[in-house]
Amino acid sequence: MNKKEKTDFILKTLNKYFPHPKVFLKAPNDFCFLISVLLSAHTTDNIVNKVTPELFKKAKTPKKMSTLSIQEIEKIIKPCGLSKRKAKGVLGVSKIIQEKYRGKIPDNFSDLEALPSVGHKTASVIMAFVFKKDAFPVDTHITRLAKRWHLSSGKSIKKIEEDLKKNFPKNTWRKLHLQMIYFGKNYCKARGHKKSDCPICSSI
C-alpha cells in the first residue's frame, strides 16, 4: 500500500465509522467556546462540559468574565485541574479580548497565540471551528494515530501537523481532526491497543 492508497483508505474508513463527527465541547457562543478549549487542557471534554454551565451562567461575554475574581473562576473550574493557572488564563484572555479587541475574538494565528494560555493547538481549534478556516489542530489522540499509522515521525506538534497537512487534502482537515479523535477514543486507544482489532492498524 503506497502513501496515496493508505491515506485514501484512512479517509474511507473514518468516513465509514464517523461520517458526521460533532465538536465535543458545548458552549453558547464563540467566546465561551474559546474558554472551554482553554479549560480542556489536561482533562476530558466531559469534565469541561459539566463545569462550564455554572461558569457561563455567571459570564458569557469577555466583558462580564473580566468582572469575576480569579477565586470565583477557580472555585467553579476546580474539577478541570490546574485551576489556579487556568483561572488566571481565563481572566487574562477575557480582559485582553475586551480591552484590545472590543469583545471580539481575533481571527488570526498571531493574535490568538499572543493571548494568555493560548497555544498553537488552541489557536488552531478556534481558527477551524469558530472561523471555519483550513486548520488541523493536533492533540494527543491525533499524535498517537499519526505515529501508529506512520504518517509522521515528528517530535513536535507543529511538525506532526505539517506532515498531516501534506498527506490529506485541505478540505478534509477540520472534519478529519474530529474523526481521528473519535476513532482514537473508540478503536485506536492509548492503552490496551491491539493492532488486529483496529480497523485501520490491521490493514495498513
The residues that are catalytic are: 121, 139
> CB neighbours (10 Å) of residue 14?
21
CB-CB contact of 176 with 10 (8 Å): no
In angstroms, the first-to-last Cα distance of the chain is 7
What is the spatial distance between Cα 134 and Cα 118, in angstroms, rounded to a whole number?
19
* List of residues 6+ apart from 183 with CB closer than 8 A: 14, 17, 18, 145, 200
Nearest to 49 by CA among 75, 79, 74, 20: 79
